[in-house]
Structure 1
Amino acid sequence: MSSLIKDLKITIKSCKLVQPLETHERRSMFLSNIDQVLNFNVERVHFFDANLDFNIECVADKLEFAFRTLLSSYDFMAGRLNFNTLEKRLEIDCNAAGAVFVVAESELTMAEIGDLEYPNPAFAQLVVKIECMETEDKPLCAIQVTWFKCGAIAIGTTNNHTTMDGVSFKVFLESLASLVSGKPLAFTPISDRRVFEARSPPRVEFTHPELTQILKDHHQTDQTLIDSTSSDLEFKLYQLSQKDINNLKGKARNQGKEGPWITTFNVVTALVWICKALATTSKDKTNEISTILYAVDLRSRLQPPLPNSYTGNAVLTAYAKATYDQLENEPFGFIVELLHQGVARLTEEYARSVIDWGELHKGYPKGDIFVSSWLKLGTMEVEFPWGRPKYNGPVVHPNKDIILLTPQMKGKKKEGGVNVILALPPHDIPHFETLFHKLLLI
């Protein structure tokens, strides 16, 4: 999109470290083997329409106070990552060093920045770039509130993924909104990660072809699930309406077996897996295998189940494998069922085996494609005193291996649909789009 606004004309009004309102005794926080491989930052932007009852000073003051109050319960979010050389693993030093709070203004109106759903690289100006901060120890959490000329606001949040997953972040956001409204925490966080501690001795009871070992002479801090390097890529946004999704479900039923696995996530993921794999491989590799990875929440799979107030990473990466020939020639329903089998595989026993494998091998999931779904997080339903977000979503950075699924904005004719966000080398886009539209039509 050549008409994208590339400069949001942001002025930083204030930037400071904020400490928890109440501090606790300093401690080291154990991080599970699931947490260990997620040492990268997650950036999100929440856009709100103007509310005449709230000016920038009011919003900033209320947010800062609520944030500091929240950090009293989430003390690890004000801590720092530390590599324990004796244990050879990451941990969080809960030292109350602080989180970042920024107030900024834009010379533009929110309408002038264009389509909020499109992954505009300029949205990176609405979040704090923690990794770029000129400090020896990097904060684990940051909030930036940006005021647009029209009175609309954007709240940009950044957190290191070792601190929490998407479900935990939604609970964090609900508590922040509750405190801003003068109410108590929505949930009291449960932050003991030892529920996912490896067994002693570790027992790897399954094969794990989705996992790869960390190279020798590398710390676990050097290699993670997300490779941030990328070549020249072009962002694309594909919008699937509810009708498109229903057609894909119908195709899966007609070309496979009826079953509970014919879900929105599975049919959309099958679509993008087929198109991405076939658009980026050569004809002489048809018998080679493509591996797709996607996150599965473990909370309901444990006995007893974990409550939603569990604060940490309670997700593991499921996988499915198929040859390029299968992706091209097998019925659509067959590919959808492969994705379901990947989820069904993730029993508590399998999850414990993955955690124990990590204890022995210090590795991480590796595949050709990683699908990250924001469809059920529900963060657009979180109510602040100035309203619910008009839209929120991740700040997207170019990566050829990651595909994002986000819900569409409320109030659109396509409400209930799915946004597919990806980055591709420009020469692969025509083939991808041909396959994409062909599968939607057949």
Structure 2
Amino acid sequence: MTSIRSISIVVPSEPTPSGLLRLPETDQVKQWTHARLIYIYRAKSNNTTIPFSFEAMKHSLSRALIHFYPLAGRLCWIEGGRLELDCNAMGVQLLEAYSEAELDELGDFAPTDAVRDLVPKVDYTTPIEEWPLLLVQVTRFRCGGLCVGVAISFTMVDGRSVTHFINSWAKLSRGYDLEDVDMPFLDRTVLRSSEPIKTPRFDPIEYTTKPPVLIGRTGCK
């Protein structure tokens, strides 16, 4: 059984850009749910515990959100019924939990109730403007192991970009600074629809002149 010990809202540790970010057309039609991921860290033996500080993890997450600030925002509806991203820095949800189970008891981590309890749940009955786009649950096990369960909005990431974020956060957690190669690409102008094809500004000769007579003569009576 997993018990929640604390729930925190983590915001960027420095001011971040605000305003609306455009979402692509594909995000206007599909379900706005969260992808769920589980990262497992086993202790070297049953007599050891993975060195871990929840407060340090919270601090590194707040630093990561400086660069990945859209994850701290919320979805919102704008005029015309379009869904956009509001970069309002409302924060991500971080949970601390403990489980009396051992990692080996979870087997191959098939989606049982015990495994589902390792990932934060989103209350989809609330308005979409209240849904955190990123939720993280850190669960310690009796055996000394550790699990990081992640729920992240499909509107924010794909498989490659969520790995990019997790790796960047882990780098900050280890005490390193992020380099240019670690920074996310946030330019949404690439999502704008292309300009319509312009009509020709000349008179195509093949449509404005009469074709020559190939057989016979003109002016015949």
TM-score range, shorter chain: 0.7 to 0.9
Task: Give the corresponding residue for 1:168.
Answer: 161
Task: Give the corresponding residue for 2:207.
Answer: none
Is 2:15 the partner of 1:27? no
The 8 Å contact of residues 118 and 137 in structure 2, kept in 1 or not, is answered as yes
The 8 Å contact of residues 141 and 160 in structure 1, kept in 2 or not, is answered as yes
1:151 alignment partner, one of 133, 144, 150: 144
Task: Structure 2: state its 5+ residue gaps.
Answer: 198-221
Larger Rg: 2
**Residues 40-189 of structure 1 mapped to structure 2, 5 A cutoff:** 40-50=33-43, 52=48, 54-55=50-51, 58-86=52-80, 88-116=81-109, 118-131=110-123, 137-185=130-178, 187-189=182-184
- The Cα shift of 1:103 comes to 0.4
The 8 Å contact of residues 81 and 91 in structure 1, kept in 2 or not, is answered as yes
- The 1-side partners of 2:120 and 2:10 are apart by 14
**Residues 230-309 of structure 1 mapped to structure 2, 5 A cutoff:** none
Give CA deviations for 1:63-105 in whole Å, capped at 9, x if unaligned. 211111111111110000011124x321111001110000000
Give CA deviations for 1:261-294 in whole Å, capped at 9, x if unaligned. xxxxxxxxxxxxxxxxxxxxxxxxxxxxxxxxxx
Structure 2 vs 1, CA of residues 18 and 134 (structure 1 numbering), >3 Å: closer, same or farther?
farther
- Letter of the 1:24 partner, please give it: T
Structure 2 vs 1, CA of residues 114 and 103 (structure 1 numbering), >3 Å: closer, same or farther?
same
Task: Give the corresponding residue for 1:423.
Answer: none
Is 2:32 the partner of 1:36? no
The 8 Å contact of residues 22 and 191 in structure 2, kept in 1 or not, is answered as no
Structure 2 vs 1, CA of residues 175 and 37 (structure 1 numbering), >3 Å: closer, same or farther?
farther
Structure 2 vs 1, CA of residues 41 and 156 (structure 1 numbering), >3 Å: closer, same or farther?
same
- The 2-side partners of 1:133 and 1:13 are apart by 24
Report % sequence identity. Answer: 31
- The Cα shift of 1:132 comes to 5.2
Structure 2 vs 1, CA of residues 25 and 170 (structure 1 numbering), >3 Å: closer, same or farther?
closer
- The 2-side partners of 1:196 and 1:163 are apart by 14
Structure 2 vs 1, CA of residues 133 and 75 (structure 1 numbering), >3 Å: closer, same or farther?
farther
- The 1-side partners of 2:146 and 2:15 are apart by 30
- The 2-side partners of 1:65 and 1:37 are apart by 36
Query: SS state of the match for residue 165, structure 2?
Result: helix
Greater relative contact order (CA < 8 Å, ≥ 6 in sequence):
2
- The 2-side partners of 1:178 and 1:36 are apart by 33
Query: SS state of the match for residue 189, structure 1?
Result: coil
**Residues 380-419 of structure 1 mapped to structure 2, 5 A cutoff:** none
- The Cα shift of 1:53 comes to 6.4
- Letter of the 1:70 partner, please give it: A
Query: SS state of the match for residue 131, structure 1?
Result: coil
- Letter of the 1:125 partner, please give it: D
Task: Give the corresponding residue for 1:16.
Answer: 8
- The 1-side partners of 2:100 and 2:125 are apart by 24
Structure 2 vs 1, CA of residues 134 and 30 (structure 1 numbering), >3 Å: closer, same or farther?
closer
Give CA deviations for 1:80-137 in whole Å, capped at 9, x if unaligned. 0011124x32111100111000000001111122223x33343211111123586861
The 8 Å contact of residues 23 and 75 in structure 1, kept in 2 or not, is answered as no
Task: Give the corresponding residue for 1:371.
Answer: none
1:198 alignment partner, one of 189, 193, 209: 193
- The 2-side partners of 1:53 and 1:69 are apart by 26
Q: Would you say how many aligned residue pairs link Structure 1 and Structure 2? A: 191
- Letter of the 2:26 partner, please give it: I
- The Cα shift of 1:50 comes to 1.5
- The 2-side partners of 1:36 and 1:189 are apart by 23
- The 2-side partners of 1:64 and 1:185 are apart by 17
- The 2-side partners of 1:36 and 1:185 are apart by 33
- The 2-side partners of 1:11 and 1:124 are apart by 13
Structure 2 vs 1, CA of residues 133 and 102 (structure 1 numbering), >3 Å: closer, same or farther?
farther
- Letter of the 2:99 partner, please give it: S
Structure 2 vs 1, CA of residues 113 and 45 (structure 1 numbering), >3 Å: closer, same or farther?
same
The 8 Å contact of residues 33 and 197 in structure 1, kept in 2 or not, is answered as no
Task: Give the corresponding residue for 2:209.
Answer: none
Give CA deviations for 1:12-63 in whole Å, capped at 9, x if unaligned. 01011111111224211111113334522111111110254634xx332222
